[in-house]
């Protein structure tokens, strides 16, 4: 019999996260501190432009000192590195985010490593990643952190469950796997990490109690790859042609939502799911950085 799955909508969770930040921001303000977030955007990538506007709008709504530094695509690597070093020394800036992807002539990893770990609110610095692996307190990459918040909000049982991650990026796959194997509440999973080198992916995805898909391939996961009653978390955001729509395209995830939903117990929609959590967790990391500075 087809299920009527729980839809794991991101809007309610993101709102709860941001509401929870308000008291903390007020306490910082009483000490004369305003959380400061500076975003560096190099080039004109449409997806990046949209994402940065969302960050700018939402941080402003919470009363952040928010700044976006927009640079032309031809900006040299040394100029970007010098700018990051300048922001490292600015005591009013608690979070530095360099929007990815960067133009090809700029070494993204070098830029990430130049950001001071105390201001690495994206959670991509090797120090942040190392702390995550070791289970130490630090900045967690925003998308995996947002997924954990969704798991908490919807009270999804994780302890002892088999969690399968599809995708091994430094942004989602690797940190997600490491987060969920930690011996903590809302984690403590048995974790399998699949990727492009995994033969017969379905063998592993069909074993998943919780399936996190960050493959970067539109509607890659169909019902034949999912176990009955699984929880499916779709990280993908893909634009596909849709001549019958007003825009000429539509946004889909890495999971074939319409086909998979009747088979599972819970699933995230795209759009309206995980994507809404990323900015919320960036704001949370920035407040955390400001609090650390106060201490």
What distance in Å separates the CA atoms of residue 2 and residue 266, rounded to the nearest whole number? 13
Give me the count of residues in the chain: 295
What is the side-by-side strand order in the sheet with 36-42?
Answer: 65-71, 36-42, 95-98
**Among 118, 119, 120, 122, the one annotated catalytic:** 122
122 is catalytic: yes
- In eight-state DSSP terms, residue 221 is B
224 belongs to the catalytic site: no
Sign of CA pseudo-dihedral 44, 45, 50, 56: negative
Note if 55 is an active site residue: yes
d(CA 92, CA 112): 20
Which is the catalytic residue, given 18, 55, 161, 263? 55
Give the HSE-up count for residue 119: Cα atoms under 13 Å, Cβ half-sphere: 25
Q: In the chain, which ranges are continuous DSSP H helix?
A: 10-30, 46-61, 77-88, 108-114, 126-134, 142-153, 173-180, 201-205, 257-260, 275-294
Instruction: Indicate which residue of 18, 99, 234, 254 is catalytic.
Output: 99
Q: How far apart are CA 142 and CA 176, in angstroms?
A: 10
Strand, helix or coil for residue 9? coil
Fill in the DSSP letter of residue 219.
T
- Distance from first CA to last CA of the chain, Å, rounded? 55
Residue ranges in 62-188 assigned as alpha helix (H): 77-88, 108-114, 126-134, 142-153, 173-180
| Residues involved in catalysis | 55, 99, 122
């Amino acid at each position: 019999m087809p299920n009527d799955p729980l839809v794991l909508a991101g809007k309610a969770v993101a709102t709860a996260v941001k509401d929870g930040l308000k008291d903390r921001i007020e306490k910082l303000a009483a000490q004369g501190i305003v959380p400061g977030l500076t975003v560096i955007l190099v080039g004109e990538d449409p997806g990046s432009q949209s994402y940065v506007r969302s960050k700018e709008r939402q941080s402003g709504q919470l009363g952040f000192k928010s700044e976006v530094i927009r640079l032309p695509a031809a900006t040299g690597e040394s100029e970007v590195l010098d700018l990051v070093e300048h922001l490292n020394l600015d005591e009013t800036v608690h979070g530095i985010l360099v929007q990815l992807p960067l133009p090809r002539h700029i070494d993204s990893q070098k830029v990430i490593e130049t950001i001071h770990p105390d201001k690495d609110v994206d959670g991509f610095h090797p120090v942040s990643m190392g702390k995550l692996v070791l289970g130490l307190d630090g900045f967690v990459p925003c998308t995996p952190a947002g997924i954990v918040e969704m798991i908490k909000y919807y009270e999804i049982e994780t302890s002892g469950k088999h969690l399968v991650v599809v995708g091994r990026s430094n942004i989602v796959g690797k940190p997600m796997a490491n987060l969920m194997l930690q011996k903590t509440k809302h984690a403590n999973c048995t974790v399998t990490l699949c990727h492009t080198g995994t033969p017969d992916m379905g063998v592993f995805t069909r074993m998943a109690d919780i399936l996190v898909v960050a493959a970067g391939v539109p509607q890659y996961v169909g019902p034949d790859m999912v176990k009955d009653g699984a929880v499916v978390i779709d990280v993908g955001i893909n634009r596909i042609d849709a001549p019958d729509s007003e825009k000429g395209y539509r946004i889909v995830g890495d999971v074939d939502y319409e086909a998979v939903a009747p088979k599972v117990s819970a699933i995230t929609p795209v759009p309206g799911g995980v994507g809404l959590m990323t900015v919320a967790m960036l704001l949370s990391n920035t407040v955390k950085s400001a609090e650390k500075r106060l201490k």
